[in-house]
Amino acid sequence: MAEPLIRFRGVTKVYGSGDAAVAALKGVDLSIDRGEFVAVMGPSGSGKSTAMNILGCLDTPTSGSYDFMGAPVGDLSRDQQALLRRHYLGFVFQGFNLLPRTSALENVEMPLIYRGVPAHERRRLALAALEKVGLQHRADHDPNELSGGQQQRVAIARAIAAEPQVMLADEPTGNLDTATSKDVMNLLTELNRREGITIVMVTHEPDMAAYAQRVIHFLDGHIAADGPHEEAA
Amino acid sequence: MLYETLKLSIRTIRRNVLRSILTVLGVVIGVAAVIVMVTLGQGTSAQVTSDVAKLGSNILMVRAGQAGFGPASATADSRNFDIKDVEAVENEVAGVAVAAPMVSRNLTAISGNINHAQQVIGTDNRYFVARDWDVSSGRTFTDGEIQAGSASCILGATTSQALFQGSDPVGETIRLRSIACKVIGVLASKGNSGFGQDQDDLIVMPLKAVQRRIVGHPDIQLMYVSVDSAYKTSDVQAGIEDLLRERRQVGPDDRDNFSVQDMAQIASMLTSISGVLTGLLSAVAGVSLLVGGIGIMNIMLVSVTERTREIGIRLAIGAQARQVLLQFLVEAVVLSLFGGVLGIALGLGLAAIGGRFLSVPFILNPTIVAIAFVFSALVGVAFGYFPARRAARLDPIEALRHE
């Protein structure tokens, strides 16, 4: 694997300016390869969310470079970032973020609409994604008719429907109980192993981080530790 | 993509039917007002035009006496015309096709035991030519009847119906005061004039008969002048005025002691009055559309705030700013088009009902319907753009954090 999927070189991020300036990232070097399952940990304000936003092309670094699939993406325009997210990234959020009063199937179809996939093909792909998360029989249900765990699985189906290069999960089990969390983590592990999807997951819980092959600890805008989970934990 | 956006916005609107209807009420009222006004306005002008056409084409009415209101000047000579004036107008003024003399009285006619009051007109066959009017049964006057001033009557359709209850009156005799008058013909029906008059409620007799036996003097109050279509009505009008000023010895500084009215002028005046009214009410409707547009803008701003999280999700998933802009713009346009269509339906309905009450014909004008449709779409674009731009400019990170 010559080229890492994701490479940060000396990435910094400063919010505000002058005396009010706050440095959220103070020079981060990081590379993630294709097929990895990485957990990102760290206390609030450690810079892990900022790093995830930059990684997800929702934000741009103040300085340093970010290469995605070997191409510099650190200073793309908003529209270019949107295209990159559309074609290469999938997002899973702590609060599920499904569209209310919209069926599971339609939620999963949404990223495919922006990709311009024709209706019947879209439906097929969305159903396939729902099948991968074991919810094909809930396709017509609205989010409020589903349990938390089911909603998160729909969200995961939405993230993988467009077959992204990376799935970015921001505390995917933060709103779930322990048993459901385990189900979701098993699902992510399975998707990582079987489908080869690269996963970068932010979490507070060492139990969840234990599912990952690699754990990165953020502290005060730096990477404090980076390695297989046994050592990092 | 546009189809998906359209589907999405229709669904969003259907989720909030009541809110959507209330939002577009301003547009509904504005569009309905425009449709009602224009439809009724056009019905009115069409009716006025057809009423004028019923009077006869290119007609000038020449009356004795000063035109207009206010006290007549001391020197005013308001004497009537005589038959020589009529002949002079017909023969000496270029462009006059026919000049028909006319005297009239309101009288009660009697047939058997039926009484009916109507206008009795004394004239000759030129009247029928000038007014482009034919008999539906019987005949017009013979030269002999006109020369002799014989007691021959031609009945209007209404009068004929009133006196003879549908049976053919030709050959029957009616009584006007002490005159026994033989019915020789019935006129085709012309219907109501635009001035609320039943034009068919009349009896036409030879001029001399009415002059001698009914009014008792040889004066003529009115001339119906039909203008040759090759001439301009206004030129002929000026020619008649010059001739009559000379014949009636009106000094260069004196006002005319007669008037020449162009029926087309009267019609265009009526039409322009209804045009002004339509314009005024359209302005009111325009204000209503503006208010409606602001209503749409308001609710779209609320919608953007309510759906900040949805916008954040869409942006994170890969929607570009312009796709979000398009989504909200399409939603605003669909909303205001919905209002426009409701307004068009309401307006046409009200115009149909109102037209029946005002006895104005209902004329569907596809142009104004199309304009109303396009205009309501434009209201959506104009007032939906600002909220849509606000949605498109949201920062995805902030939007996702929004509660």
Q: What is the mean pLDDT of residues B351-361?
A: 85
pLDDT of residue B302: 92
Q: At A20, is the pLDDT very low, low, confident or very high (cuts 50, 70, 90)? A: confident
Report how far residue A96's alpha carbon sits from residue A108's, in angstroms, rounded to the nearest whole number. Answer: 12
Query: Looking up tokens 């009222």, which residue turns up?
Result: B29
What residues of B are in contact with residue A114 (Cβ under 8 Å)? 314, 317-319, 323
Interchain pair A97, B400: CB under 8 A? yes
Cβ neighbour number for residue A123 with a 10 Å cutoff: 17
Residue A204 in this model has a pLDDT that exceeds 60: yes
Give the residue from chain A lying closest to B394, CA to CA: A78
B319/A contact by beta carbon, under 8 A:
yes
Residue B53 in this model has a pLDDT that exceeds 70: no
B1/A contact by beta carbon, under 8 A:
yes
B307/A contact by beta carbon, under 8 A:
no
Alpha carbon of A53: minimum distance to chain B alpha carbons (Å) = 8
Three-state secondary-structure class, residue B36: helix
Note the pLDDT tens digit of each residue in B29-49.
Answer: 889 988 888 888 888 777 777
pLDDT of residue A105: 95
pLDDT of residue B272: 78
Give the residue from chain B lying closest to A111, CA to CA: B317
Note the pLDDT tens digit of each residue in A105-131.
Answer: 999 999 999 999 999 999 999 999 999
What residues of B are in contact with residue A58 (Cβ under 8 Å)? 316, 396-397
Residue B193 in this model has a pLDDT that exceeds 70: no
A114/B contact by beta carbon, under 8 A:
yes
Cβ neighbour number for residue A79 with a 10 Å cutoff: 12
Q: List, as one string, the DSSP characters of B131-197.
A: TT--EEEE----HHHHHHT--EEEE-HHHHHHHHTTS--TT-EEEETTEEEEEEEEEPP--B-TTS-
Give the residue from chain A lying closest to B395, CA to CA: A58
Phi, psi of A97 (to 5 degrees): 50, 50
pLDDT of residue A233: 41
pLDDT of residue B40: 84
B53/A contact by beta carbon, under 8 A:
no
Write the DSSP symbol of residue B255: P
Asked if ipTM goes beyond 0.95, one says: no
| Percent with pLDDT over 90 in chain B | 29
Give the residue from chain A lying closest to B5, CA to CA: A113
Three-state secondary-structure class, residue B360: coil
A79/B contact by beta carbon, under 8 A:
yes
B316/A contact by beta carbon, under 8 A:
yes
Q: At A37, is the pLDDT very low, low, confident or very high (cuts 50, 70, 90)? A: very high
Three-state secondary-structure class, residue A126: helix
Note the pLDDT tens digit of each residue in B312-340.
Answer: 999 999 999 999 999 999 999 999 999 99
Report how far residue A140's alpha carbon sits from residue A136's, in angstroms, rounded to the nearest whole number. Answer: 9
Could you tell me if A210 and A233 are in contact, meaning their C-beta atoms sit under 8 angstroms apart?
yes
| Percent with pLDDT over 70 in chain A | 97
Q: At A2, is the pLDDT very low, low, confident or very high (cuts 50, 70, 90)? A: low
Report how far residue A145's alpha carbon sits from residue A142's, in angstroms, rounded to the nearest whole number. Answer: 5
Report how far residue B173's alpha carbon sits from residue B317's, in angstroms, rounded to the nearest whole number. Answer: 95
Instruction: Read off the pTM.
Output: 0.72
Report how far residue A76's alpha carbon sits from residue A57's, in angstroms, rounded to the nearest whole number. Answer: 9
Q: At B56, is the pLDDT very low, low, confident or very high (cuts 50, 70, 90)? A: low
Interchain pair B317, A86: CB under 8 A? yes
Note the pLDDT tens digit of each residue in A86-102.
Answer: 999 999 999 999 998 89
Highest mean pLDDT (candidates A28-32, B78-82, B226-230): A28-32
Nearest alpha-carbon partner for A166 in A40, A31, A6, A58: A6
A77/B contact by beta carbon, under 8 A:
no
Element (H, E) at B100: strand B96-111
Note the pLDDT tens digit of each residue in B224-264.
Answer: 888 888 888 888 888 988 888 888 888 777 777 888 888 77
pLDDT of residue A137: 94
Give the residue from chain B lying closest to A90, CA to CA: B317
Report how far residue B59's alpha carbon sits from residue B220's, in angstroms, rounded to the nearest whole number. Answer: 18
How crowded is the C-beta side of B191, counted as CA atoms within 13 Å? 10
B180/A contact by beta carbon, under 8 A:
no
| Percent with pLDDT over 90 in chain A | 85
Could you tell me if A112 and A188 are in contact, meaning their C-beta atoms sit under 8 angstroms apart?
no
Phi, psi of A59 (to 5 degrees): -145, 165
Cβ neighbour number for residue A185 with a 10 Å cutoff: 22
Interchain pair A101, B15: CB under 8 A? yes
What residues of A are in contact with residue B316 (Cβ under 8 Å)? 56, 58, 85, 91
> Which burial class, exposed, middle or buried, applies to B203 when counting CB atoms under 10 A from its CB (0-12, 13-18, 19+)?
buried
Cβ neighbour number for residue A193 with a 10 Å cutoff: 11
Interchain pair B321, A79: CB under 8 A? yes
Interchain pair A82, B1: CB under 8 A? no
Interchain pair B320, A83: CB under 8 A? yes
